[in-house]
Chain A
Amino acid sequence: MLEASGVLELSLAIEATDVVKVFGSIHALDGLSFTVKHGEIFGLIGPNGAGKTTALRIISTLLKPTSGSVKVLGRDVVDEASEIRRLISYLPEEAGAYKNLSGYEYLEFMAKFTIEDKEMIRETVEVAAKISGLEERLKDKVKTYSKGMKRRLLVARALMTKPKLALLDEPTSGLDVLHSVHVRGIIKQYVEKEGVTVLLSSHNMLEVEHLCGKVALINKGKIVAEGSPAELEKKVNASNLEEVFAKVVGFV
């Protein structure tokens, strides 16, 4: 029994089975099933309104599935939500930071929830400072930041604690090319060296191609294609992910 659950935890970070989420008359998710293995960078792609954000919100325990089940790190999102929250970190698609706090104060506030040791908190904030690349500007109030600077602060916040599972909804949206490359590098490094598993959504096919070992294409709340970028390209006879996207979504 113990062994079995241990194996489960080792092999699967996320296990979504037949997830349905209904908002009034809208079926945001309509029987979504996929699995994410430990140590993977898994990419969710799909057109606007396909259900990517809804899926990430359910996995991050913010929303409850209407039906179906989701297990995150072996725990049920409905019954064991508070345990899951200890292990994950979620970067919402549209997020802000407390505008009257400084960048440092914000990072410290966030770090204190997962870390108790003062010295560790300081170290974590330093790590985040490096990830964000904001340097001296971290002393300024968040309300003085540009959109991309705010996003960098939030990405740093999501990664600084080295969570077991990071859920990143369009992590590089609004970032300039250099910072996007920097953030991708960090994500890769964290997965390879720190044992972090990443599930991200993105509209940047180049990014997904570079970063993700596995990709799922969602359309209308269902997975319509799944596999490594190379596998997908081969399957629909396309030369890159953008073409895959166009062919698969176009046909559906």
Chain B
Amino acid sequence: MFKGLFNVIVKEVKELVRDPTLLLGMIIVPLIIFPLMGFAVQTSMKAAEESMENISIAVMNLDKGTVAENLTNFLTTLGVTIVKIDDLNFTEAVNYVQQSNLTGLIVIPLNFTNNITGGLKAELDVYSVFRGGGIAESTSSSTISTLLKSFEESLVFQKIFEEIPEEDPQTVLNPIDMSEKSIVKGKSVNIHPSVLFGLMMSQSMGMPIGIMMLLIFAMQLAATSVASEKEEKTLETLLTLPINRLTILAGKLTGSIIVAVVGAIAYIVGFTYYMGSFMGIMPAETGVDLAAIGLAPTPISYLLLGASLFVSLISALALAISISVFAEDVKGAQALVGPLSMLLIFPMIFMMFTDIYALPFPLMIVLLAIPFTHPMLASKVAFTGDYLTAVIGIVYVSIFTIAVLYIAARLFGTEKILTAKLKFKGLRRRKRKPAE
């Protein structure tokens, strides 16, 4: 029945891979844009780091007392460049700070020292200069407040030391030492929960995005491969060849899958590189042995994810092919298939930020009814160990796939695949008729 299938697949792959616009999408976006984005993030973060190293602040000291003096000394010893502008009035000071590229301005008001030594609350005005609002600016502004906080802490320490000299100020200030650990699948593990959440986040963000991109890409390919047969007027010839129509359909599905998988790998490589550019800067995660705590994907979870992805891929392709039968050309097909990508983006967004079982019931039902939610759910199986949900999802998507495949096969088997297009043509001809 599938005689000639290999011949069709080879042709499909050749046609798709040699399409210059498609190649552009497959190479430019993943292999050039992602690394470029990574590079941009990396350099701007480096710039932020550097600007943290050379912070320069203008200080307008109206107090002139000892504590005010201590404060400026404290900042200087921590490497901050201090510019004293006591002679200027406030308006002049603000102007000066803006123009001379300083990070900020600290105004120490009158009575600052008196208030602190007298046990009253003292005020301090801190201004950060807002220039463009990049990462570098926000980090250096938060650095100023961190530095001031640690000055404040040193005041507290001193006070404790004066009042209760026999005790450790550290212990007085933080009498409880909390040690945070996690419970995973019924076992306690000596890992801070935020580390685990971080790991899960990267997984639950990355997989749905990857799955969404793979499926959208594959759908565009399948739609293109059907519509270009019409646009290039090769379909009529193809349909009179001694080859089963189902073989043509299977060839188109397989060809699109092959190219989509290659495209997806390019995306994954590009995306990993992009993510890697963050990792270089973030503090390295404590070497957590996921396998030891049962969070590493098991062979079963890989198998389930693979199966779920496979059936979803087939259903997405069959759906795209069925719809593109009604288009006249490639542009039309892509316009028809475009809205389908909402079926992928919608679950992806929810999947990235929430647990869909925590959503309001109607919304949850809607999401679960969308077949493409299920491979994304299956991608969490390694963390949840909830194999049953994954299996139910696979069964559900399989039934959907069979239904869509049946429709696609019907469309391919009849003259609809030709006349769906011709109908538009017929309408247009009919409109022109009265003029004759």
Chain A residues with a Cβ under 8 A of chain B = 23-26, 57, 60-64, 82, 85-86, 88-92, 94-101, 105, 109-110, 112-114, 141, 154, 157
Q: CA A235 – CA B332 in complex, angstroms? A: 51
The distance in angstroms between the C-alpha atoms of A91 and B422, with both chains bound, is 18
Partner of A100, one of B10, B15, B239, B422: B15
Q: How far is the CA of A62 from the CA of B430 in the complex (A)?
A: 22
Instruction: Classify chain B: how many residues form its interface, as a range.
Output: 20 to 34
The chain B residue with its CB closest to the CB of A154 is B237
The 6 closest A-B pairs by CB, nearest first: A100-B18, A96-B233, A96-B232, A86-B242, A90-B240, A92-B236
Task: Report yes or no: A62 in contact with B426, Cβ–Cβ below 8 A.
Answer: no
B231 to chain A, nearest CB (A): 8
Query: With A95-B233, A100-B18, A101-B14 in contact, do A61 and B240 touch (Cβ < 8 Å)?
Result: yes
Q: What are 27 contact pairs spanning A and B, CB under 8 A?
A: A23-B422, A23-B423, A24-B423, A26-B430, A57-B236, A62-B239, A63-B415, A85-B242, A88-B240, A90-B240, A94-B233, A95-B234, A95-B236, A96-B233, A100-B15, A100-B18, A100-B19, A101-B15, A105-B14, A109-B7, A110-B237, A110-B241, A112-B7, A113-B242, A114-B241, A141-B18, A157-B237
What 0/1 readout, one digit per residue, does chain B (6-28) give for beta carbons within 8 Å of chain A?
A: 01001100110011000000000
Residues from chain A with a CB closer than 8 A to the CB of B111 are none
Shortest distance in angstroms between A215's beta carbon and chain B's nearest beta carbon?
24
B240's nearest neighbour on chain A, judged by CB, is: A90
* B4 lies within 8 A of chain A by Cβ: yes
Instruction: Indicate if B243 sits at the interface (CB-CB under 8 A).
Output: yes
| Interface contact tally, CB-CB below 8 A | 81
In the complex, chain B residues whose CB is within 8 Å of the CB of A96:
232-234
Given contacts A63-B418, A82-B242, 20 further A-B contacts (CB under 8 A): A23-B419, A23-B426, A57-B418, A62-B239, A62-B240, A63-B419, A82-B244, A86-B242, A94-B233, A95-B237, A96-B234, A100-B14, A100-B15, A100-B18, A101-B14, A101-B15, A101-B18, A109-B11, A110-B241, A112-B4
Contact B11 A99 (CB under 8 A): no
Is the CB–CB distance between A62 and B242 below 8 Å?
no
B-side contacts of A23, CB under 8 Å? 419, 422-423, 426
Nearest chain-B residue to A111 (Cβ)? B7
B4 touches A113 (CB 8 A): yes
How many Å lie between the Cα of A26 and that of B427 in the bound state?
A: 11
A97 touching B7 in the complex, CB below 8 Å, given contacts A88-B240, A89-B240: no
CA distance A89 to B236 in the complex (A): 11
Determine if A99 and B232 form an interchain contact, defined as CB atoms under 8 angstroms apart. Answer: yes
Q: Which residues of B contact A62 (CB under 8 A)?
A: 236, 239-240, 415, 418
* Cα of A31 to Cα of B240 in the assembled complex, Å: 24
Contacts A86-B242, A98-B11, A100-B14 given; does A64 touch B415 at CB 8 Å:
yes
* CB nearest to B3 among chain A residues: A113
Task: Specify which of A64, A95, A96, A101 lies most central, judged by the most chain B CB atoms within 10 Å of its CB.
Answer: A96
CB of A113 within 8 A of CB of B15, answer no
Q: Is the CB of B243 within 8 A of A92?
A: no
The reply to whether A114 and B236 contact each other, CB–CB distance below 8 Å, is no
Question: What's the nearest-Cβ distance from chain B to residue A84, in Å?
Answer: 9
Residue of B nearest to A97 (CB): B234
Q: Give the distance to chain B from A238, nearest Cβ to Cβ, in Å.
A: 26
Q: Which residues of B lie under 8 Å from residue A110 when comparing CB positions?
A: 237, 241
Report A-chain residues with C-beta under 8 Å of the C-beta of B233: 92, 94-96
For A89, the closest partner residue in chain B by CB is: B240
Distance in angstroms from A67 CB to nearest chain B CB is 15
Q: Give A112 to B422 CA distance when docked, in angstroms.
A: 29
A98 touches B232 (CB 8 A): yes
- B residues in contact with A141, CB < 8 Å: 18
Q: With A24-B426, A98-B11, A100-B15 known to touch, is A60 a contact of B232 (CB < 8 Å)?
A: no
Give the chain A neighbours of B423 by CB distance below 8 A.
23-24
Closest Cβ of chain B: how far from A39's Cβ, in Å? 22
Whole-angstrom distance between the alpha carbons of A141 and B423 in the complex? 32
Across-interface contacts of B239 in A (CB, < 8 A): 62
A23 to B415 CA separation, bound complex (whole angstroms): 12
Give A116 Cβ to nearest chain B Cβ, in Å.
9
Enumerate chain A residues within 8 angstroms of B240, measured Cβ to Cβ.
Answer: 60-62, 85, 88-90
Chain A residues with CB under 8 A of B244: 82
A6 to chain B, nearest CB (A): 23
Once the chains are docked, how many angstroms separate the CA of A99 from the CA of B11? 11
Contact A92 B241, CB 8 Å, known A99-B232, A101-B11, A109-B7:
no
A154 to B234, CA, bound (A): 10
Chain B residues with Cβ below 8 Å from A99 are: 232
Bound CA–CA A62/B233 (angstroms): 14
Contact present for A113 and B14 (CB under 8 Å): no
Partner pick for A90 among B14, B237, B422, CB 8 A cutoff: B237
Shortest C-beta distance, A234 to chain B (Å), equals 33
Bound-complex Cα distance A163 to B14 (A): 27
Q: Which residues of B contact A24 (CB under 8 A)?
A: 423, 426, 430
Residues in A neighbouring B430, C-beta threshold 8 A: 24-26
A220 CB, min distance to chain B CBs, angstroms: 14
The residues of B that contact A101 with a CB separation of less than 8 Å are 11, 14-15, 18
CB distance from B10 to the nearest CB of A (A): 8
Give Cα A121–Cα B406 distance, bound, in whole angstroms.
34
Smallest CB separation, B436 vs chain A (Å): 10
Q: If A64-B415, A82-B244, A89-B240 touch, does A98 touch B4 (CB 8 Å cutoff)?
A: no
Complex CA distance for A171 and B91, rounded to whole angstroms: 88
In the docked arrangement, what's the CA distance between A25 and B243, Å? 33
Contacts of A86 in B (CB 8 A): 242
**Shortest beta-carbon distance from B254 to chain A in Å:** 16
Give the residue name and chain of the A residue nearest to B11 (CB): A109
Residues of A within 8 A of B415 (CB): 62-64
